[in-house]
Each structure stands twice: as C-alpha cells, then as structure tokens.
A and B are shown apart, each in its own frame.
Chain A
Amino acid sequence: MKFAVVVFPGSNCDRDMYHAVKEVLKEDADLVWYQSANLEDYDAILLPGGFSYGDYLRSGAVAATSEIMQQIKAQAAKGKPVLGVCNGFQILLEAGLLPGAMQRNKNLSFMCHQEPLVVENNETLFTSIYDQGEVVNFPIAHGEGNYFCDEQTLETLKANKQIVFTYKNNPNGSVADIAGIRNEEGNVLGMMPHPERAVEALLGSADGVKLFQSIVKNWRESYVANA
C-alpha cells in the first residue's frame, strides 16, 4: 500500500508520519511537497502536524486554500483514506472536509504530553483493529485543539457515529471530549492526538500502530474484494 505524506511549509511531523508507515509498518510512503504532488498514484493520504504557514490567520486556514486541497478533495471523494493529524486535522476542518472548527485550548497553554483516549467507534477504516471502548495512549502537542461545533452538528456527529476518539480527561475544552472525528462517508479522519508518535515502546506508547494497521488491513480487504 502506498501512502503520500503531504508536506506544507511549516509541517513538522511529516518525518514522524513517514517513519511510522515506512519503518514500522514496512509499507510504501513518499514525502510529497504540496506544490508538486500528484496524489493520483497513492492509496492513502496523510496530512501531518506542524504549523503550516506559521498558523497565520487561523491554524490550517492558509493551507486549506492551497491548490493541493482540490486534489485531496477529489481523492477523498473517490473513497481513498485521508488522515489528518493535529495541524492536518485543522486543515481538514478549514477546508470543509470535516465539520467544526478549532479554538485556543481552554487554559490558553500549548500542551505537550501523553493523553489517554477512548476508541468510541471501532467500526471505521482507521480503528477496526482496536476494541470498542479500548483506552489508548497518544501524545498531544497543540495550542489550538479545543474542538467546537454547534449543537446541531454535534447531534449529527453522534447520530452518524462520526466521533472516533474522545479524551478520557478532556485537556483542552473540546465539545463532548472530542479528540477525533470522521466524515459521513467514513474515509476521512481528523484527530488532534498523534498516533504516528506512538508507534514504538521506546516512544512511550505503541498504541498508534493499530491505527495504521487498520488502514492497511481494510485497504487489502477491499482490494481483494474488488479484484
């Protein structure tokens, strides 16, 4: 399976993401610069964390207007898995691929530590290897991870089982403890915590491995089913 890790000016978790796929999963991956990327040939698209465009205006807002977003939208519409982590999640929100918006953390601090998360939905492309309700430890590293949406959107998220991860001890003030959501179709996941930084015991947690393995497993199964 071939992954594209899209690199924007100011991305800084791109290499972690690449390492997780290439060295831990032993799958194929390329770091692709946002201006020269052709995403057609890839099976999945990863939007890494960082501070694209210095977080100018709003986190993710400038990257969301870049041309590559049109490609990402087109590939997402075809059903390809798209995973946005941290700033990647903020970009997906600003681009309208996921509903809601991010605000400054409730305590106004940049927080960088490990947080326990609950797998709220294990019937997704990204979480099928986890158990329903499983508690996993992923690092967070953000100043603007306070997820906000209006009540009607929240009801829709709940009704469609779009809430994939929640915080066990909400660190940032997110509505309904939301740490990660997917789109209605199920192939786009955005999350603030970093699964790519939790792929080896040496890093303090290897709980993120199953997320990437789920993507690969589901891709293989659909590939076989369509062959």
Chain B
Amino acid sequence: MKNVIVNVTLKSGVLDPQGKAIQESLNSLGYKEVQQARVGKSINLQVEEGSNLEERVREMCDKLLANPVIEEYSFVVEEAVRS
C-alpha cells in the first residue's frame, strides 16, 4: 500500500479571494511580513501498489481532483505505515 498526498493549488495568475482575506487577517494580527496567502487543498489517497501508479494518479488529478482551468497540482508518493 502507498500513501499518495495530492496538493491542489490555484494557478499563479488566478485571483484567490480566500487567500487575500487570510493575508489581510494575518496582517491585522500584526504579521505585516505576510505579503501573500494562497489557499489550496490536500487530498490523501491510500492506493494499492501497481507499476503505473504515478501515471494513474496524474489521470485522477486531470479528470477529477484538480480543475485545469484554474488549478494545478503536485503529489508525493510515500510508503503507507501499517497501523
């Protein structure tokens, strides 16, 4: 079993109203050094091992997990820790 951690973020040119609100909140708390905040999401998948795992995860991202019009994604594959 593998853990796949998919990170979905807005493309750099796309305005992020939520991120803007967070940046302004941090600024008003006194963290004036924060120049930008961007909000994304992290999706953790537990996946059975297979030879084309990365290719299939890329497909999942393209088809569903990210919207290519406004988002981009990256992912890391880790050994799943048995509990």
Contact = CB atoms under 8 A, between A and B. Distances in A.
Interface of A: 57-58, 61, 65, 93-94, 99-101, 103-108, 146, 148-150, 173
Interface residues of B, number: 12
B23 to A, nearest CB: 13
Contacts of B29: none
A57 B15 contact: no
B14 A148 contact: yes
A100 B17 contact: no
Contact of B67 (A101, A105, A108, A150): A101
Contacts of B63: 65
Contacts, number: 36
Contacts of A58: 67
A-side interface mostly:
loop
B73 to A, nearest CB: 12
B17 A173 contact: yes
B34 interface: no
Interface string B42-83: 000000000000000000000111010110000000000000
Given A61-B67, A100-B69, 14 more contacts: A58-B67, A61-B64, A65-B63, A94-B67, A103-B70, A105-B17, A106-B17, A108-B17, A148-B69, A149-B69, A150-B13, A150-B69, A173-B15, A173-B17
B36 interface: no
A101 B62 CA distance: 14
